[in-house]
Amino acid sequence: MEEGIELMEVKATNLYNHTIERNKRKQRNRTILSYELVLTTKAIRAVITAKKATKELKKHTKITRE
């Protein structure tokens, strides 16, 4: 009887530890995706800023050539 209880406790402990590890992996994956999204957003903003700067430079260059 005691062996059965100990076995149940071991299974419960293993399940608990497995659940904690699984949740840690999920959190790590969410964090990685969050960083990737931030970096992607920053890259897109940089491209947009560069395009705007290029347009302004072209406008300025056209004006000075005339």
pTM check: above 0.85 = no
Give, in order, the Cα–Cα distances in Å from 9 to each of 3, 12, 17, 22, 32.
10, 5, 12, 20, 35
Q: pLDDT tens digits for 14-63?
A: 999 999 999 999 999 999 999 999 999 999 999 999 999 999 888 888 76
